[in-house]
Amino acid sequence: MKEPPHKKTLWGLTAVPIVSALLFASAFFVATAWEAAVVERNQRAQLIDMTNSFVTAFSNAGAGGTVVPATFRRMGIDHYSERPRTDAYGVETSVTMPGTPGLEIHTSEPDGRLKRIIQRLAAKELTGPIVENRIENGNFIGRTISPSIATSASCVDCHNRLMAEEVYQIGDVMGAFIVESNMTASIWRNAGFSGLIFIVSLVGAGLLAQRERGRMQQIVNGLEAQVHLEQVKSEAEAQQRFLLSHDPLTGLPNRTMFHDRLDTELKLAPVSDVVVVVVDLDGFKTVNDTSGHSTGDALLCEVAQRLLSVITDDRGLVARLGGDEFAAVFRHAPDRPDADTIGHQIVTAMQDDFVFENNVIKPGCSVGIAIADHHAGVTATELLRGADAALYTAKTEGKNTYRIFDAAISALLGRRTEIAARLPRAVANDDIRAVFQPKMCIATGLPHGFEALARWRMDDEDVGPDEFIPIAEKTGVIRDLDLAVLQMAAEFAVATSAEFGQPVRISSNLSAQNFHTDGLAEDIMAIVKKAGLAPQHLTLEVTESVAVENWDVVEATLRTLRQHGVSAALDDFGTGYSSLSYLRRFEFEEIKIDRSFITNINDDDEIRFLFESITDMARGLGATVVVEGIETTAQAEIVALRGAQIGQGYLYSKPLEWDEARAFLKSSFDRVA
Ligand code: C2E
Ligand code: CA
Ligand code: CA
């Protein structure tokens, strides 16, 4: 692993004081040693000068044949050579003049090296003094070897006489002074000083370095903290960016990113290759309610994976639009599966069981597809609306299937758009009217009451509630619509009961969407009061799937209404996977068995068994049992046998206009009377 740079710097801070102290001490040592050597050299030269002039003075004094006594002549030398002088710095200086006095040229210097130097001086191979600094036998020696030259005639005479040969002239080399200074002690002392300086500067530099290291460490810590902070910040930003464009549960792109991609794809040619797919799970609510939210979440993740395994185009994108709604966009290419194949593959991929915590789930989905080519407009919104319309068609065609947007769906979409546009005005203008279908008491064959059902004549065409109610729910007009029907229902019940002097019970339907808005119970009671209807004669029908989806809010509203005397009916029982514990807790006054259980009951034992079970269950919950969709007497007999109290269906009457319903009531009362 590579060391971070700041660690290296800190290491450097440890090495620097040692090296710098060493350099400083060494420099001090070299400088002082050099200085000492120079001083000593100068002193030796002075000494030689002094001795020389001393000798010369005495030899001149002895001119005229008098031999200068050797002891006298050499006083200057002997003065030093006998007792080496030690100066204040501990330097010992000695002066020697090798050989027999007066016979220097035949010197008997014991050091062969020095002897050779002297001989070379005598032979005039060397001129001037020789200065050297050497380590000898563990001592540091400074030495000057200087030729001693006879400079006066008396001097030369004397030498010639002593040598018994008259061969020398003035200027001939006669011998050499050797002046040695032993600087060992002073060098050691300097070394000691240098050591001291080394220690002092090491401590000083160490302290400085320590301070510097602390400062550096602080800077490094600060930088590290800043880097860490930046990292955390950029991670948080990345996370935030991810969440802005992705669904946190499945990790798929979200609606925003999907729209962006679709916009981009539609700007690239060829536009006709762009395919949009919307996928909606069938019965996802039921999974959530019966198996729990963690199972629901796991299922959504599984669905995401299955979609990704189908849309493998590099440029394709699978997104979660929200809830159980997914979407994909991809480009058609000759070597890739076409929209038809993809639709089929998605539906097939969802058929496999999904097992989670012992729950076995059959996902199942409906798929709507729109190809830019098939679609008149090419904006992302139009294309998505096309895919949505295809999805809607797939759902109404029995789910677990796919549809590709085409002319027929386009017409349907156009119609839905028109209905959505005209419905609010229809509600506001009282164009929505109520029809009344009798609910018959099976035991007596007399009307038990009526169910009010909404009707709309758009221009010259009747639009059925199965078509406009879902649109009203989607566009938010449903609340006004339901309350308008309720008002007519209340007015009908009040009018007929006044006319015939008998209580007329009335039922009205409430859509799921109403429970999402506040003040529903208050609005209902205001209508009931205004119409003068006894609340005991009103029953509100809520479809089972509605009750299951928003159980808490539905229960709270219905309980409030119950306190005022209004009854509640569970509509379409058997289709919504109600939890029995909910139903037991609330105890609906009425349970309406869905029409699908009575249809085809004659020729199928299994359906008959199912009908019997569901009726028994409704009775077991203590409610009045209503069976819807009775069309034949055979069906009526079965219903009677099973103990259901109320029947509703074409056998007794189709939904009737106000006057027809009034007439129906009149004839019934007339029959009794
Ligand atoms: P629903 O509440 O289950 O109403 C019963 C539906 O079954 C009615 O259809 C009725 O005409 C039909 N029906 C009754 N007896 C028979 C029979 O013997 N055979 C057959 N084939 N059908 C029978 P409709 O009026 O078309 O209403 C359909 C659905 O629209 C209703 O089902 C209800 O869910 C909804 N709806 C109708 N009016 C309103 C309303 O004012 N508000 C709300 N929220 N929903 C409404
Ligand atoms: Ca109903
Ligand atoms: Ca029903």
- Predicted confidence (pLDDT) at residue 55 exceeds the cutoff of 70: no
Give the confidence band of 65 by pLDDT, cuts at 50, 70, 90. Answer: very low
How many other CB atoms are found less than 10 A from the CB of residue 589?
17
In angstroms, rounded to a whole number, what is the distance separating the alpha carbons of residues 273 and 275?
Answer: 6
Which residues, 6+ apart, have CB-to-CB distance to 48 below 8 Å? 95, 129, 144, 146, 177, 179
- pLDDT for the residue 240: 87
The percent of residues in the chain predicted with pLDDT above 70, rounded, is 86
What residues have their beta carbon closer than 5 A to ion ligand 3?
571-572, 628
Pocket residue to mutate for ligand 1, from 573, 628, 652, most atoms within 8 A of Cβ: 628
Band (pLDDT 50/70/90 cuts) for residue 636 is very high
**pLDDT number for residue 72:** 45
How confident is the model over 423-441, as a mean pLDDT?
96
* pLDDT class of 43 with cuts at 50, 70, 90: confident
How many residues are there in the chain?
A: 673
Q: What is the mean pLDDT of residues 152-159?
A: 68
Which of the ligands is closest to the CA of residue 546? 1
Q: Provide residues with CB under 6 Å of ligand 1.
A: 437, 453-454, 464-466, 469, 482, 485, 509-511, 541, 571-572, 628-631, 648-650, 655
Sign of CA dihedral 186, 188, 190, 192: negative
Q: In this model, does residue 131 exceed pLDDT 80?
A: yes
Q: Residue 12: its pLDDT value, please?
A: 61
pLDDT tier for residue 73 given thresholds of 50, 70 and 90? very low
Phi and psi based region of residue 90 (left: phi greater than 0; alpha: psi -120 to 50; beta: remaining): left
For 103-120, what is the mean pLDDT? 70
Substitution candidate for ligand 1 out of 509, 594, 656 with most atoms within 8 A of CB = 509
> What mean pLDDT do residues 242-259 have?
92
3-class DSSP state for residue 256? helix
With beta carbons less than 8 A apart as the criterion, state whether 540 and 571 touch: no
Helix (H) or strand (E) holding 403: strand 402-404
Gap from CA of 127 to ligand 3 centroid (Å):
139
Distance CA 481, CA 428 (A): 9
Min mean pLDDT across 95-109, 387-401, 546-560 is at: 95-109
- 218 and 266 Cβ atoms separated by less than 8 Å: no
The residues with which 573 forms a beta bridge, in sequence order, are 593
Closest CA to ligand 1's atom 15: 649
How far is residue 319's CA from residue 337's CA, in Å, rounded to a whole number?
19
Residue with the smallest CA separation from ligand 1 atom 37 is 453
Please, what is the average pLDDT of the chain?
A: 86
pLDDT greater than 60 at residue 106: no
HEC secondary structure over 624-672: EEEECCCCCHHHHHHHHHCCCCEECCCCCCCCECHHHHHHHHHHHHHHH
Contact between 252 and 246 (Cβ < 8 Å): yes
pLDDT of residue 102: 47
Expressed in angstroms and rounded, the spacing between residue 595 Cα and the centre of ligand 3 is 7
CA dihedral for 630, 632, 636, 642, sign (positive or negative) = negative
Ligand 3: centre distance to CA 393 (Å): 22
* Tens-place pLDDT, residues 317-362: 999 999 999 999 998 888 888 899 999 999 999 999 998 888 888 8
Q: What is the pLDDT of residue 358?
A: 83
The per-residue pLDDT for 568 is: 96
Cis peptide before 270 (omega within 30 of 0): yes
For residue 392, pLDDT beyond 50: yes
The closest ligand to the CA of 573 turns out to be 3
E strands in 65-209: 85-86, 92-96, 130-136, 139-149, 173-182
pLDDT computed for residue 503 by the predictor? 95
Q: What is the pTM of this model?
A: 0.61
**pLDDT for 314:** 77
Contact (CB, 8 A) for 423 and 388: no
Mean pLDDT of the 500-518 span: 92
pLDDT computed for residue 398 by the predictor = 79
Lowest mean pLDDT among 149-153, 503-507, 617-621: 149-153
3-state secondary structure of 420: helix
Arithmetic mean of pLDDT, 606-617:
88
Q: What is the pLDDT of residues 567-578, one digit of tens each?
A: 999 998 887 666
pLDDT confidence tier of residue 168, bands split at 50, 70 and 90: low
- Residue owning the nearest CA to atom 23 of ligand 1: 629
Q: Which residue has the higher pLDDT, 291 or 376?
A: 291
Please determine, for residue 156, whether its predicted confidence score (pLDDT) is greater than 60.
yes
Q: Is the pLDDT of residue 249 over 60?
A: yes
> What pLDDT is stored for residue 570 in this prediction?
92
- The pLDDT of 470-481, averaged and rounded, is 93
| The pLDDT value given to residue 357 | 87
CA distance 114 to 108: 10
